[in-house]
Structure 1
Amino acid sequence: MNRTRGTTLVTVIVSIAILAVALASAASVFISAAKLAKHAANVTSAASFAESVMERVRSQPFASMESADVERGLPNLPGVRCEIAVASPEPGLKQITVTCSWTEGANPYNVRYSTLAAGGHTP
């Protein structure tokens, strides 16, 4: 009878250990999923901001389009920095590139949009 009780106790302890390992693994998966969801939200916010900066530049008169730096904190992404680069590959054409950068922990990330704008007159 004592042997049966000892075996039952060992079985319960082993079962609890297996359950603890399974719960720790599940918690790890949920934590990773939460980090990925936050990163996806940050990328979406930065991309939306980059698009709005791009549209602001494109709405300017052709001659006024120029390179600049924009620094702005977004509600869920403080410290995002956008660089506007305007190049003229040929007369009457400007290439506009908006690059927004931010950090999450120690990791740097960025999104980049580029477009061409035509205007002015060509000789």
Structure 2
Amino acid sequence: MSVGIAALTAHGLTATWMDAAVTALRAIVEHRDDLVKTRTQTVNRLHVVLTHLIPAGAPRGLSAVRAAEMLRRGRPRDLAGKTIRGPVIDLVGEIRQLDRRIGKATSDIEASVTESGTH
């Protein structure tokens, strides 16, 4: 409360304001962070599903390309494997879509920073 009284009674204080460009940039960065978090969760789900399909599972740093290669190499013959293959294909598609969206958000951030004239 005393800070508020001091602010009201003090003369010559500089008013602060939020730059619209900063607000926009913050929104883009938060969006990209959310996409990266979602991608990480999707890759983790893919790892779990792949352990049901491939005995050794998948290596670290799993990408959509690597998962698709693993899927092509091991064609399941049994019902369980054929059934599990569907969710793997869906998850690989989700990761590819998230990779594109993360790339676009990264480009938007770079363009916004360049446009603002800052580094």
**Shared topology, TM-score over 0.5?**
no
Q: Which has the higher contact order (CA 8 A, sep 6+)?
A: 2
Could you say which structure has the higher helix fraction?
2
TM range (shorter): 0.3 to 0.5
Q: Which has the larger radius of gyration?
A: 1
Could you say which structure has the higher strand fraction?
1
